[in-house]
Amino acid sequence: MKILKYGIGLVAAASLMTSCGNAGKDKSGADGALNKNNAEKVYVAPGEHDDYYAFISGGYSGNLLVYGLPSGRMFKEIPVFSQFPTNGYGYSEETTPMLNTSFGFIPWGDSHHPDISQTEGVLDGRWVFINENNTPRIARIDLETFETAEIIEVPNSAGNHSSSFVTENTEYVVAGTRFSVPVPQRDMSIKDYKGEFKGALTFIGVDQETGGMDIDFQLLMPGFNYDLSHPGRGKSHGWFFFTTYNTEEANSLLEVNASQNDKDFIAAVNWKVIEEYVKNGGGTMMPSEYAHNVYDHHTHTATSTMKKEVRTINPTEVPGAVYFLPTPKSPHGCDVSPDGEYIVGNGKLSTDLTVHSFTKMEEAIKNKKFDGEAYGIPILNFDDIHAGSVEKAGLGPLHTEFDDKGNAYTTFFISSEVVKWKLGTWEVVDRKPTYYSVGHLTIPGGNSRQPSGEYMFAMNKITKDRYLPVGPELEHSAQLYDISGEKMELILDFPTHGEPHYAAAIKADVIKDNSRQIYELDENTHKHAVKSENETRVERNGNEVHIYMSTIRSHFSPDNIEGIKVGDKVYFHVTNLEQDFDVPHGFAMIGQKTSELLIMPGQTRTSVWYPEKVGVWPFYCTDFCSALHQEMQGYIRVSPADSDIELSWSLGED
């Protein structure tokens, strides 16, 4: 008995290894080799800069990570949907409005797909957008400041997953719902899902001057799951494509019940037609509540506005707006080739990759060759639009990116590999293992007319033995491949943070010279800013005390404050008077129940403190800013609530 058990264990272990894609194999062989030549390819000498920025989703960290390629070095974590005590985002009075929603303040988010703004189908490096899946929102990050500039909530959506992809001129950033829900929300039986729930596809207009976002319209689609999306480009500009699964409209045990249909759909949406319809007054304004949060880098303050209605569109009322392209089976990724001709749908439960032809699709639509309809939306005939299939390419296909030479690269989760294949001939050119269980992959410019042909990196879901063990969970692992030759070459492993669902990457040259070094003190219009130490002061208004404080190497002004009482509400308004690149100061107060502040040169930040204990309490600078950083400190005297100690403050007096 014992021996038999042992035998089974071995078999199970062996099959686990294969499902992890050649685990442990090839580490020093030709395939996964890190020979000297490859090491040089990723070597960025001390003081030198990387060639690319990669913006890697932080997944359940809610944030966005900035990396350099080819080195794989992490440069910054940009807080987006989550509180970030490292710099006070979501804690300071100025930034908490960024996390406001129709559900109130939400401290956390689940970010998935960053996408960089485009002009004429080419990445322009103005902004990067990213979606929040859980409490549906889209954020815009300014690539001059590398700060979150705006967050808009998406109403009538749930599991904001087929997001946030931009059209060729950033006319729209598009957000599709993964979960269909009652629209508007109401109390009803879950069992009545079928035919009653709706899937909202939201088109958010982007102001080309300011980047400001506003929902133009929401398409209320049948109650499927809308998983991923990509814009048309070139000849298919004006269209947007969304993969669907659960066209069965099951509401329980989806792993079985949503895998019944042999084919689900890619929904092809002609947004130009809908735009016209809207221009002519089409659509219905629906009462709806959603937050719109905007950060102003002159006032250094965010404001949150609650919007009250949204324009909804019934797709059956707009002729030519939406068609369904049958696609095998529960597709995940939905990717469009650089020329806009091919739409790739990867059925997770199919071994073949399905490629649709945009030209054929247009032709079939023109000839009205339909194969029935679903909820009034015409279904095209699979054979009429099918460009070709990559057959038996691997197991569990997920996402596809493209290079500049007519090749496509698809990730396979189950067989744990990236497969390179040719557009048009559909032949497999190369395959390389990834370690392990790859999700998305990124080629710089992959979602544009001009992808790069230098690097591809795979973002893996499982890390296992790739790094030194650090307990039960490891950071996810990314792998960088040189794709300049016929065969892909693995050249670097690097850890990511959170879950790197997707990444957007761009040539560093496009953005690095625009990156801001300081905020001009002259342009600081924060209502509690001080422009010099002469303006620093303390004011009492009943129980509220406002401390107008400044920082400069290496002191706070004022640094001694008396007359604060238990029961007060104390506001620290701290302005950093520095006008030098990379000289922030920090501010931390003993016992304060919020994070520190990290204040950039020329910026003002506020935190609130409720003094609870009588005594003399210190505060200090948290960022080692100068040789005398340790001297950068101060004291606050807290007296009993009924004390009559006068408010006073000083700097450099005995």
Q: Which residues pair with 618 in a beta bridge?
A: 635
Residue 421 binds: one of ligand CUA, ligand K7E, none (C-beta under 5 to 8 A by kind) = none
Is residue 230 a contact partner of residue 336, using CB atoms and an 8 Å limit?
yes
Identify which of residues 283 and 445 has a Cβ nearer to ligand K7E in the complex.
Answer: 445
> Are the CB atoms for 258 and 245 separated by under 8 Å?
yes
Q: Are strands 353-357 and 342-347 parallel, antiparallel or unpaired?
A: antiparallel
Does residue 547 touch ligand K7E according to CB under 6 A? no
Give φ, ψ of 380 to 5 degrees: -80, 160
Q: How far is the CB of 438 from ligand K7E (least distance, A)?
A: 8
Indicate whether 219 belongs to the interface with ligand CUA (CB under 6 A).
no
State which of residues 375, 581, 624, 635 lies at the interface with ligand CUA (CB under 6 A): 624
Looking at residue 278, the DSSP 8-state letter turns out to be H
Asked if 625 is part of the footprint of ligand CUA (rule: CB under 6 A), the reply reads yes
Nearer to ligand CUA, 192 or 580 (CB): 580
For residue 164, say if its preceding peptide bond is cis, omega within 30 degrees of 0. Answer: yes
> Which residue reads 């910026």 in tokens?
603
DSSP 413: T
Non-local (6+) Cβ contacts of 318 within 8 A are 273, 274, 277, 282
Q: Which region among 49-57, 134-142, 320-328, 617-625 touches ligand CUA (by CB under 6 A)? A: 617-625
Q: Does 112 bind ligand K7E (CB under 6 A)?
A: yes
What b/e readout covers 377-408, taking b as 16+ CB neighbours within 10 angstroms? bbbbeeebbbbbebeebbbbbbbbbbbeeebb
Query: Pairing state of beta strands 284-296 and 301-313?
Result: antiparallel
Residue pair 150/303 in contact by the 8 Å Cβ criterion = no
Of 169 and 554, which has the nearer Cβ to ligand CUA? 554
SS3 content of the chain, % helix, strand, coil (to 5): 15, 45, 45
Nearer to ligand CUA, 173 or 621 (CB): 621
Task: Examine residue 332 and tell whether it contacts ligand K7E (CB under 6 A).
Answer: yes
In Å, how far from its chain's centre is CA 360?
Answer: 33
Least distance (Å) from ligand K7E to the CB of residue 332?
Answer: 6
Token digits for 493?
């492993």
Stretch that binds ligand CUA, among 62-70, 311-319, 362-370, 619-627 (CB under 6 A): 619-627
439 contact, one of ligand CUA, ligand K7E, none, CB 5-8 Å limit per kind: ligand K7E
Residue 502 interaction partner, one of ligand K7E, ligand CUA, none, beta carbon < 5-8 Å per kind = ligand K7E
| Binding flag, residue 589, ligand CUA (CB under 6 A) | no
x-or-dash string of contact with ligand CUA, 518-557, rule CB under 6 A: ---------------------------------x--x---
Considering only 502, 556, 587, 649, the residue that binds ligand K7E (CB under 6 A) is 502
Binding mask 208-237 for ligand K7E (x = CB under 6 A): --------------------x---------
If binding is defined by CB under 6 A, does position 466 make contact with ligand K7E?
A: no
Question: Per the structure block, which two tokens stand in for 113?
Answer: 């797909």
CB under 6 A: which stretch of 371-379, 416-424, 506-514, 616-624 binds ligand CUA? 616-624
**Calpha distance 459→440 (Å, rounded):** 6
Q: Look at the block and give the residue holding tokens 């809908």.
A: 274
Shortest approach of ligand CUA to residue 555 CB, angstroms? Answer: 8
Q: Counting contacts by CB under 6 A, is residue 439 touching ligand K7E?
A: yes
To which H or E segment does residue 5 belong? Answer: helix 2-19
C-beta of residue 535 within 8 angstroms of C-beta of residue 549: no
Which of 228/291 has CB closer to ligand K7E? Answer: 228
Element (H, E) at 552: strand 544-552
State the Cα–Cα distance between residues 71 and 54, nearest whole angstrom.
11
Structure tokens at 453: 């042909």
Selected binder of ligand K7E within 61, 113, 146, 606 (CB under 6 A): 113
| Whole-angstrom distance, CA of residue 248 vs CA of residue 270 | 24
Region of residue 588 (phi > 0: left; psi between -120 and 50: alpha; otherwise: beta): beta
How many residues touch ligand CUA under the rule CB under 6 A: the total is 9
Q: Which is nearer to ligand K7E, 226 or 619 (CB)?
A: 226
329 binds ligand K7E (CB under 6 A): no
End-to-end C-alpha distance for the chain, whole angstroms: 85
Among 31, 629, 643, 651, binds ligand CUA (CB under 6 A): 629
Task: Quote the least distance from Cβ 621 to ligand CUA, whole Å.
Answer: 3
Q: Which does 335 bind (CB under 5 to 8 A by kind): ligand K7E, ligand CUA, none?
A: none
Choose, by CB under 6 A, the member of 126, 420, 501, 605 that binds ligand K7E: 501
Nearer to ligand K7E, 215 or 398 (CB): 398
Q: Which of 110, 115, 222 is nearest to 160 (CA)?
A: 110
Q: How far is the CB of 649 from ligand CUA (least distance, A)?
A: 19
* Residue 623 lies near ligand CUA (rule: CB under 6 A): yes
Q: Give the whole-angstrom CA distance, residue 416 versus residue 398.
A: 11
User: In the set 398, 549, 577, 589, which binds ligand K7E (CB under 6 A)?
Assistant: 398
Residue 332's binding partner out of ligand K7E, ligand CUA, none, with CB under 5 to 8 Å set by partner kind: ligand K7E
Q: Tally Cβ neighbours within 10 Å of residue 247.
A: 20
Identify the H or E element spanning 361: helix 358-366
The answer to whether the CB of 170 falls within 8 A of the CB of 118 is yes
Total residues contacting ligand K7E by CB under 6 A comes to 11
Dihedral (Cα; 566, 302, 115, 346), 10-degree rounding: 60
By the rule CB under 6 A, 464 interacts with ligand CUA:
no
- Which residues form the interface with ligand CUA (CB under 6 A)? 551, 554, 585, 621, 623-625, 629, 632
Applying CB under 6 A, the residues found at the interface with ligand K7E are 112-113, 161, 228, 332, 398-399, 439-440, 501-502
